Amino acid sequence: MSNEMFFESAVALAQRLRSRQVTAVEVAETFLRRIDSENPRIRAFTTVSHDLALSTAAKCDEAAAAGHFLGPLHGVPVAIKDLFDFRAGVRATLGSLPTKDLVPTTTALHVQRLEDAGAVIVGTTNAPEFGHKGVTDNFVTGPTSNPFDITRNSGGSSGGAAAAVAAGMVPLAQGTDGGGSVRIPASWCGVYGIKPTFGLIADVTRPNAFITSSPFSSVGALGRSVDDTALMVEAMAGPHTRDPLSLAATSTPVTEIARDGLKGRRVAFSADLGGIPVDPGVAMVIEESLGSLESAGAVVEPVDIRLPADQMELSLLWGRLMGALYSDSLIGLKDLGYDLLRDHQDELTPAFRDMVVAAQTRTMMQARADERLRSAVVDSIQDAFAGYDFLVSPTLAVTSVVNRNDGLTTGPSEVGGVAVDPSIGWCLTYPFNFTGQPAASLPAGLSNGLPVGLQIVGQRHDDAGVLAASAAFEAASPWISTYPGLG
């Protein structure tokens, strides 16, 4: 295939597969060669599942020869995230040295749904240890590089996913988002990423069925276009009886995206979400992008967001909530023979270890106090939303950071002279994991050659609206030509 075909849309590729202009095996073999060629310099994939991909593709072709197509993703190469997004028989390192050889025997619900829709799983993508920070680097694989500048980071925690899409290694990649982990790397790698309304994509977690509720952590999707990404969301969406927090299926499929999704819509704009410092170069790109919203028919007005605490305190709140979530995750790993705190503390990333250890001594009432603060964040966001259909902001305060060579890359510790938490404090994403609203990051432009993302947030359950607004912005300000290696 030529480079243009590596950057072909998933929708177009799916159509060509259905019309049998190309076979699924041909597509799989070609993209596997692309991965084998590009991955050594990008480090997007931790495991490439050659045999699984080719056998799945062969089954797609057998079905097609009999006049049967497996679903909307029939034969389309897809990557899954290397966390708890298990596919039975495919190594899942979790970005952690103690679990670097873990091979799950079960398949996650959303991964099974992708395969049921005909997707060809080509491998797992890199993430920081247990997804604990907004960049992708770990002691197992090292940092994932940004295709726009391989000395810089892809963002995290779904960094391998975003980099693989931006580099043309796959048309689509699945991610998860507990603080921005889909939107952060989407912003830095110049792709489209969406965190749906919490519960839209069922997530069966055990031993704790409620583990993803604090903060709200959602399965999401990344692609090079809104239509492509919506196709992946639709394949994974829907309730499940063993996920008590999953939402009933919507009557209107999210893939039925209106082409005039911003016409007449009222859009609130916050440059800093009420106090998160933003780099001037990023701010300039975002300000210019508002013109595309207006040209698509939106009425854009600035709003003040009055958060209940400063950005550092809210970053620490997120860290405490995630520390409890990770501690709970480690309990589940004990059933697989891994006791990380007892046997492997010295192998863990220090920041991750500290989050987990701190959670061990939190009291129930301290946790309740955190939930009260989180509730106040929800109220402040809803106050800002009053009278508006969408809220937009920068996705991140800065462009991509330079990779380290020791597995310990982080985000900045200050922005514009203001101290921020290096794990998440430079991200304008995590407040919407407190609220559970759908939120997406769109490529808004470049600052010194590096991508900048615009975040679009909708009200809960309005995933179709966020996708429609995103599609309208994309039509007004297309970004496909920006990818390095295209042509």
**pTM beyond cutoff 0.85:** yes
Task: List active site positions.
Answer: 81, 157, 181
Per-residue pLDDT of the chain (487 residues; tens, 9 = 90+): 456 789 999 999 999 999 999 999 999 999 999 999 999 999 999 999 999 999 999 999 999 999 999 999 999 999 999 999 999 999 999 999 999 999 999 999 999 999 999 999 999 999 999 999 999 999 999 999 999 999 999 999 999 999 999 999 999 999 999 999 999 999 999 999 999 999 999 999 999 999 999 999 999 999 999 999 999 999 999 999 999 999 998 766 777 787 789 999 999 999 999 999 999 999 999 999 999 999 999 999 999 999 999 999 999 999 999 999 999 999 999 989 999 999 999 999 999 999 999 999 999 999 999 999 999 999 999 999 999 999 999 999 999 999 999 999 999 999 999 999 999 999 999 999 999 999 999 999 999 999 999 999 999 999 999 999 999 999 999 999 999 987 5
Query: Is the Cβ–Cβ distance between 279 and 415 less than 8 Å?
Result: yes
DSSP letter assigned to residue 213 = B
| Dihedral, CA of residue 154, residue 340, residue 81 and residue 142, to nearest 10 | 30
Measured CA to CA, the distance from residue 52 to residue 33 in angstroms comes to: 15
Domain 3-482 indexed as CATH 3.90.1300.10:
yes
CA 400 to chain centre: 16
Query: Is the Cβ–Cβ distance between 463 and 480 less than 8 Å?
Result: no
Query: What's the token pair of residue 301?
Result: 């007005």
User: Can you give the pLDDT at residue 230?
Assistant: 96
Query: Is the Cβ–Cβ distance between 168 and 483 less than 8 Å?
Result: yes
Residue whose C-alpha is closest to residue 351's, from 328, 329, 319: 319
Query: What's the token pair of residue 238?
Result: 């829907």
Measured CA to CA, the distance from residue 427 to residue 420 in angstroms comes to: 10
How many CA atoms within 13 Å lie on the side-chain side of 377? 26
Helix (H) or strand (E) holding 187: helix 183-189
